[in-house]
Amino acid sequence: MINPILPGFHPDPSVVLVDGVYYIVTSTFEYLPGLPIFRSHDLVTWEQIGNVATRPEQLGIEQAASGMGVWAPTLRHHDGLFHLIVIVTGGPRGCVVFTASDPAGPWDDGTPIAGIEGIDPDLAWDDEGNAYVTYSGFVTAGPDAGMHHGIQQVRVDLAAGTAVEEPRPLWSGTGRQFPEAPHVFRRGEHWYLLIAEGGTERGHAVSIARGPSISGPFEGAPANPILTAAGYDSRIQCVGHADLVAGPDGGDDVLVLLGVRTLGRTKAFSPLGRETFTTTVTWHDGWPRARPVRAHPRTGAVRESFDLTSLDDPGWLAIGRAPEEAGSLTATPGRLTLHGVTGGMRAFRPAFIGRRQRHLTSTFTATIDASQGSGGLALRYDEHFHLSLEAHGTTVTATARVADLEQSWSTEIAAGEVELRIETSLPAPGNGPAGDGADRIRLIAAGVCLADLDGRYWSAETAASFTGRVTGVFASEGTVTVSHFGYHGEDS
């Protein structure tokens, strides 16, 4: 088994099996395109076939703060249509259901569902065909922001976009904090309610209950939580937010879930953020038992050189707008052109186009011409936690930003194009101070290493981020063009 199955920033997975093919969707927060769709025949080899939200108006996250936006979708298939339900935080749309006949798209503009206040919605149908939305009653806006009402459920009219009854509380776990990520499904004579609890950090866990109908009443499993990494000696931590699917070839059922790969002597830092993992379950007396989540990354090197005459590859990301709006492929034929946004990577909506870092050992390279402006290559968690190499004339400046702290280093280069590199590598082995942090990050311009840094400061724990590292090109002033963008990654 390969684990993680979706490496890099891919949290909150939801999975569906249709005609022998598996499809997964994950959260994207402030990035566009949103809600990537992956396809597999064996739960091992995955291909990104598109994104649900390719047009900004589908989500309305132009003003959503970093860490808000697209949270925790659920992907389902019913009556010949794929349904994607999500609650968009920090924007005007709220709870939205998108549909498509082909998961590769196009997806429709979505139908908002009024009367649902919370996060992490699930969509399920009872035996009579009635649709139900089950969700976590965490309030994200208004005077009650921060209040949590536990797991809620409401019957809805999907065509009209309305709830047809008042929400009712359901079983909300074993008492751990933040019951969330509910999924309701039927197996045999029982309906099951699968949830996450404990918070998405080190206390994350998966718990389950069952009952006689889609609305319960639900009784918790005697062995809850059925899965957690909390307190266990494992490099994979924060496991939770699971969805259940039948395994391939009639094998054991599979939980698809999030987790983090940790580094450092105390397993304190996860540079790549929350990734998508799997583990198998067996059933005993009508209850599932999950096996621990183990890391088995795909071995071997990945080398990619990306075509900068097209942004059709679904893996490109921009912040709060589509990549086609952040950069131009026609202004300078054969090159990607970026027009500067004041503040560069500190800006709320920078001129930035990037890709997820997917391996703990990695190199991003970009060949930049900044003779008419300023810009370069950056590793981003958000506008407060990032690293950059910025070319301006014959100077390249490396900058490391950690909240209110910032430090820079500069070097002189020849006029014209310059190759910029951001390299990451595993920490030194052993129990000394060098092994206490996360990975090492090197910022290199024209072959000169300007900075060699401890990656703990650009990890999910320090940045307090729900996302992960996204590395790409940016412009902060004038016009910057890019003739090459490449990636090398490997795990061991």
Q: Which residues are catalytic?
A: 12, 180
CA distances from 311 to 92, 306, 323 (A): 27, 9, 7
Burial of 324 (0-12, 13-18, 19+ CB in 10 A): middle
Q: Is 252 helix (H, G, I), strand (E, B) or coil?
A: coil
Strands (E), 158-298: 162-163, 168-169, 180-187, 190-197, 205-211, 219-220, 227-228, 236-245, 253-261, 275-284, 287-290
Q: Could you give the CA distance from residue 247 to residue 249 in angstroms, rounded to a whole number?
A: 7
Q: What are 247's two structure tokens?
A: 């395994």
CA distances from 210 to 207, 244, 254, 320 (A): 11, 14, 18, 40
Q: Could you give the CA distance from residue 164 to residue 114 in angstroms, rounded to a whole number?
A: 10
Closest CA to 9 of 260, 273, 284: 273
Give the type of residue at 205: A
DSSP letter, residue 166: -
Q: Are 276 and 10 in contact (CB under 8 A)?
A: yes
* Cα 351 from chain centre: 21
DSSP letter, residue 61: -
Q: Could you give the CA distance from residue 243 to residue 87 in angstroms, rounded to a whole number?
A: 17
Neighbours of 334 (CB within 10 A): 9
Q: Could you give the CA distance from residue 136 to residue 181 in angstroms, rounded to a whole number?
A: 7
Residues 6 or more apart in contact with residue 79 via CB below 8 angstroms: none
Q: Which helix (H) or strand (E) holds 31?
A: strand 31-32
Q: Could you give the CA distance from residue 292 to residue 431 in angstroms, rounded to a whole number?
A: 26
The tokens 């001129």 sit on which residue?
Answer: 351
Q: Could you give the CA distance from residue 258 to residue 113 in angstroms, rounded to a whole number?
A: 27
